[in-house]
Structure 1
Amino acid sequence: MARVLKVLGRVMRTGGKFPEAPCSRKNWFFGHARELTNPATRLDIIDSWCEAVGTCEYRLVSRRGLLVTELEDVAKLSALRPRTVQRSFMIRLAFEYFAPGVFTAELPEWTVERRIVSPAFHSNARLSEYGPKIVELSERLCQAVGGKKVAINATMYKFALDSIGLIGFGQDLDTLRGGDASMITECVRILGKRILAPLPYYRLIPFFGDRMDGGKARQRALFQFLQDVVRRGGPDHTVLAKLLEKNRSENNALADERLAGNLATLFLAGTDTTGTTMTWMVKHLAEDPALQKEARVEARRFANRPDDFGTVPLLRSLFREVLRIEGPAAVLPLQNATEPVVIAGRTVDPREYAFVIPLRFLGKHRLPPDEKDPTNFDARRWVDRKEKDGLRPWPKALMPFGFGVRTCPGKDLSELEALIAVCALLRRFEMTLVDDGKGPHKTTFAFTMIPDRDIYVNFRNI
């Protein structure tokens, strides 16, 4: 009851410190929530608010958010992480239920977890050890799509899931050939539902709340599975083997539960994101024969190693442009947890607002003034043959993997997965986008930003 009264008190509070987001469906109780009901239009609405007002506030029942649209303010928030500015409490609460790891950890635990997790990803030598497993799965991927019309979004999700299983701890989930990974995919579905819920029902209703959506049973099954994996230990050349090796050298070693939580983080943060990025890459290649032909030349000289990234500047440019326009992480929710922060000339007290960084808006509208057609998709936008790696430097507005010291440690692994998979397809097939008669594909919000419907592609053997 106390929690319910607290929510009602926040709902009844009037006034704010910042311009209010323009909303035609605002309600005294739900606030702006009704305007954001449809996942297919949610991000477009947020972008329209940012274009119309700039930095502005909104309310979802009792939760107040602040859309931060100026790069100097974003840079300030970046500099204050992780001590003063942390991940949004509600997002952290929902995510940590299924994956208590480095993604959700804050100080002082974050320092230890980051020190143990990062070495598994942060060198070309480490990533090269994972390459052969990804190549093995790319062969399965080619077998799964060869000579067929395929829903590429579902197929790429399975490829990403199988990659995490093999790279993470040597477990062959084999979903590309019919293996069952519902234990993980159901956790992703429930997590997305909880993040979207305007009321955190699983907190407001003791005991029954976290059982209303089946989350408790799924969480127990996932953790039992992953803790058993941790106790058995990981084969050589897996993320788990690296975690266990580093953990043994730590004075404050992580318990098996936290190690299992970091494996869960790999699944929940690394499947939708990488799978969706690869989906859009294939979609753009399949609808543009000239782009596909040019990319195929690069694919044939790529040796599936991070040291060879410089040989595929066009494909890397495509990877970046997908992240800019159709990236799986379109917003980044934060909060000032310990001290007041000045945003747009106004002082924000701790936990007063959730800071929401609109990543897609910044990527489209805060690029340098001389950028050509910044709101349009251009697969060749980042190619610059004069640069050492063939790519222009990323502007400060592009933050698809977060920013500052909290940048995602798996970002290079994600790019390696995408390049190996897409290059394998380019070498073997001519790809053609299937027109379903429903107009352009758009993004919609689930756990991450995903295609609003299946994207079908025909794969014809070369």
Structure 2
Amino acid sequence: MWSWLTKTVFSVVAALLVAKALQVISRVMRTGGKFPDAPSSRKNWFFGHALELSDPAKRVDIIDGWCEAVGTCEFRALSRRALVITEVEDVAKLSSLRPRTVQRSPLMRTLCDYFAPGVFTAEVPQWTVERRIVSPAFHSNARLSEYVPNIVKLSERLCEVVAGKEVAINATMNKFTLDSIGLLGFGQDIDTLRGGDDDAAMFTSCFAILAKRLMAPLPYCKLIPYFGERMDGGKARQRALFQFLEDVVRRGGPDRTVLAKLLEKNLGENNALTDERLVGNLATLFLAGTDTTGTTITWMVKHLAEDSTLQEEARIEARRFANRPDDFGTVPLLRSLFREVLRMEGPVAVLPLQNTTEPVVIAGRTVDPNEYTLIVALRFLGKHRLPPGEKDPTKFDAWRWVDRKEKDGLRPWPKALMPFGFGVRACPGKDLSELEALIAVGALLRRFEMTLVDDGKGPHGAKFAFTMIPSREIYVNFHPI
């Protein structure tokens, strides 16, 4: 009996695997070629460009290289076909079609929904409801001002932690932003900066799991029922995250927290969010607001630490900012530094989309619904599609956006710069991210002389880990002034 059952199970599994392999091969053999092929010496008939893209540390650099060589182009990884979009006009067209005709790619949506089923991946009509509930927690100066005292409190704690030490700023800044989400999001002082809750720090490993799943040759989570989602530890982390946040929602949020605002808005909705969706949006806040802002602050500190002139000028602004930490007009240089980091080293280098219901014309050719994953090359656009006459657009310049003649001391951003996404689907937390960065970096400038530690390994680069992060630890010495 058991022998027959075992043989039957193995036969069914083998048949399913063969069917899947044949499906992949049939898709691989499907002709493409509407657009120039991405140049690659490692492309072959079965894997396509997957072998060249197999190293996460180089993946975005390779895609940027293709953009420089041929502009808008297509590539294939097994049966997945992608179109890399490099022209501002085409991106503007996609922006105008969001969120109804053009949406996030199904793969990206499925992956993110596993850990954070919230406004980031929701599509209409669910997105319309969630956006209406989530946005008020971020989109007003008065609302952001309410968060300032807690950000200042955490910035002072950050200064205490780094004082007089050589610090790996990557991990430290991620802890700062994680603590900020805990305190601003639902009023809980997680205090990972001082080791107060090691379990909360575990949640940041979700990025590594998402990156692994995104680049897996096949979606093993679906291909291998039950065991697939447990192969990389994702299920355990998902359970821990959801349990933690379910408890938070049940307790409710203190006044002046994101959760309090969500609950308040949700009560007035005819189509109120379920507890599951509220938990998902808190998870979105965690995942979208930790590594991304933490990485941006890391690069800001790194550039300040290696340039004494920049540091001194920024320190003058930081001292002025101390008395008015919600007045961005007092810190044009720091804001310019923030923007330049996002342009050159932003945490989001590419944005995967898909036209789901209607054809769209890209680079003069018609793309049918679901024919390609549309890869918007955000970092390439920021570096190579600035207005004509822009001085050294491919080089980092912290002063690039300063213009004392403008009301807020900054030049307007060109259309090519879209580090927070574009159109109505732009990240609702972008202003909060900038506020956190300016207050934290300002506090460090007022308290310390910062010097970059030379580890003898050359310039620091970035690698893909779902978001773009420094490819190795960046160490900075913080000398009290």
Distance 1:455 1:48 in 2: 25
User: Within 1, Cα distance between the matches of 2:205 and 2:341?
Assistant: 26
Q: Does 1:98 align with 2:98?
A: no
Q: Give 1 or 2 for the bigger CA radius of gyration.
A: 2
| SS of equivalent to 2:76 | strand
Query: Alpha-carbon deviations, 1:126-168, whole Å to 9, x = none?
Result: 0111111111110110011000000011100100111001111
Q: Which secondary structure state, in structure 2, belongs to the residue aligned with residue 30 of structure 1?
A: coil
Q: Which runs of 5+ in 2 are unaligned?
A: 1-15
Aligned residues: 462
8 Å CA contact 1:11, 1:61 repeated in 2: yes
Q: Which of the residues 39, 43, 56 maps onto 2:73? A: 56
Residues 1:261 and 1:4: Cα distance change in structure 2 (over 3 Å): farther
Task: After TM superposition, give the deviation of residue 207 of structure 1 in Å.
Answer: 2.0
Q: 2:274 aligns with which of 255, 258, 261?
A: 255
For the 8 Å contact 1:50–1:69, the answer to whether it is kept is yes
**Equivalences for residues 183-332 of structure 1 within 5 A:** 183-303=202-322, 307-332=326-351
2:400 matches 1:381: yes
> Do structure 1's residue 165 and structure 2's residue 179 form an aligned pair?
no
Deviation at 1:388, TM superposition (A): 0.1
Q: What is the distance in 2 between the residues matched to 1:208 and 1:154?
A: 31
d(CA) in 2 for partners of 1:397, 1:418: 22
Deviation sequence 1:241-296 (CA, Å, 0-9, x none): 00000000000000000000000001111111000000000000000000000000
Aligned partners of 2:253, 2:290: CA distance in 1, in Å? 20
Provide the secondary structure at the position in 2 that maps to 1:34: coil
Whole-angstrom CA distance in 1 between matches of 2:94 and 2:236: 37
1:358 aligns with 2:377: yes
* Contact preservation (8 Å) 2:337, 2:398: yes
Alpha carbons 2:351, 2:375 under 8 Å: kept: yes
Instruction: Give the Cα separation in 1 of the matches to 2:324 and 2:357.
Output: 43
Secondary structure of 2:418 counterpart: coil
Residue range with higher mean Cα deviation, 297-306 or 347-356: 297-306
Matched, 1:404 2:434: no
Q: Structure 1 unaligned segments of length 5 or more: list them.
A: none
Q: Is contact 1:330-1:360 (8 Å) kept?
A: yes
Q: Does 1:460 align with 2:479?
A: yes
d(CA) in 2 for partners of 1:126 and 1:336?
35
Q: Which amino acid aligns with 1:122?
A: H
Give yes or no for contact 2:179–2:193 (8 Å, CA) kept in 1: yes
Relative to structure 1, the CA distance from residue 307 to residue 185 in structure 2 (aligned partners, 3 Å threshold; closer, same or farther) is closer
CA distance in 2, matches of 1:77, 1:244: 33
Segment of structure 1 superposing worse, 117-126 or 338-347 = 338-347
> Counterpart of 2:99?
82
Which residue number corresponds to residue 428 of structure 1? Answer: 447
Q: Moved runs in structure 1, 4+ residues, more than 3 A?
A: 2-5, 303-307
Aligned match of 2:6: none
Q: Distance in 2 between matches of 1:391 and 1:430?
A: 26
How far apart, CA to CA, are the structure 2 residues paired with 1:191 and 1:53?
30
RMSD: 1.1
Provide the rounded CA distance (Å) in 1 between the counterparts of 2:325 and 2:377.
30
SS at match of 1:450: strand
Moved more, 18-27 or 429-438: 18-27
TM-score by length of 1: 0.98
Q: 2: CA distance between counterparts of 1:83 and 1:166?
A: 34
Which residue type is aligned with residue 26 of structure 1?
Answer: K
Partner Cα separation in structure 2 for residue 390 and residue 15 of structure 1: 48
- Secondary structure at the counterpart of residue 40 of structure 1: coil
> CA offset at residue 186 of structure 1?
2.7
Shift of 1:422: 0.1
Per-residue CA deviation, residues 4-31 of structure 1 (Å, 9 max, x unaligned), is 4332321222332111100111122221
The alpha-carbon deviation at position 41 of structure 1 amounts to 1.6
The corresponding residue for 1:5 is 22
- What is the CA-CA distance between 1:306 and the residue it aligns to? 6.3
DSSP-derived class of the 1:36 partner:
coil
Equivalent residue number for residue 42 of structure 1:
59
Residue in 2 that maps onto 1:339: 358
Taking only the aligned residue pairs, the percentage that are identical comes to 81
- AA in 1 matched with 2:77: L
* TM-score of the pair, normalised by structure 2: 0.94
Matches of 2:227 and 2:24 in 1, distance apart? 19
Is 1:73 matched up with 2:83? Answer: no
Bigger mean CA deviation after superposition, 23-32 or 440-449: 23-32
